Amino acid sequence: MRIAILEDDTLQSEMLALWLRDASHDVYCFADARDFMRIAARESFDFFLLDSILPQLSGQEVLEWLRKERNNDTPVVFVTARDAEEDVVAALSGGADDYIVKPVRRWELLARVDAVLRRGRSQGNEQVVEVGPYRFDVTHKQAQLDGAGLELTDKEFDLAVFLFRNLGRLVSRGHMLEAVWGRSPTVATRTVDTHISRVRTKLELRPERGYRLVPAYNFGYRLERVGAEAGEAA
């Protein structure tokens, strides 16, 4: 998972990042709320860990920005020294998914992160992804549309699976690059656009098929259900 931490205590941030990276997550750390918001406005993440006590804006204000201004439903867990009941209630009522009081315990943190992710979108461990007329066998890297095999390169297959695992969610180019190509500075973001075009064509992602790939200017893409497929899912 791609996780962003907003924590102004460097030692605390480094400790949380170490635990999460050891659990195979990709972690980005921010000490400044404005920097966090600037990046979160143009990049997508799978999970946010927020401190509530910050120099500029409070964690509660950042949460409000995510939920109301950005309409961002990415899971949020507060990690904070504040343990008063009113603080917990305010965070959860404002859209937080969980609340952890410092000092943080490693295995509790990882368990709570996993629990929140299980309640939300898929963690991506399933070996067969089936959505509508599409079927992806992750183990053997085989893709089908209406039962017929599709010829995809490895990267096209990985990108298609990533999109269907995030169906309905706006994901950034950087997020797609990291998920499919890894953290490689030699890969340009236009590589995503090229592969998106190929995947759209090969998978026939068009409204008459019930799905479409919608670009978001200077951000990324969203795979959406449309027409009858969307109605069935509602």
Report pLDDT for 61: 95
Report pLDDT for 120: 63
Assess whether pLDDT exceeds 70 at residue 176: yes
**Measured distance CA(68)–CA(154) in Å, rounded:** 38
pLDDT digits (tens, 9 = 90+) for 4-42: 999 999 999 999 999 999 999 999 999 999 999 999 999
Across residues 148-162, what is the average pLDDT? Answer: 96
Across residues 188-205, what is the average pLDDT? Answer: 91
Report pLDDT for 125: 64
Name the band, by pLDDT with cuts 50, 70 and 90, for residue 234: very low
pLDDT digits (tens, 9 = 90+) for 120-135: 654 556 789 999 999 9
Distances (CA, A) of 228 to 40, 147, 169, 178, 208: 33, 20, 19, 33, 9
Across residues 189-208, what is the average pLDDT? Answer: 92
The pTM of the full predicted model, rounded to 2 decimals, is 0.72
**And the tokens for 228?**
């009858």
pLDDT digits (tens, 9 = 90+) for 52-89: 999 889 999 999 999 999 989 899 999 999 888 898 99
- Return the SS3 of 3: strand
Assess whether pLDDT exceeds 60 at residue 230: no
Name 213's bridge partners.
Answer: 223
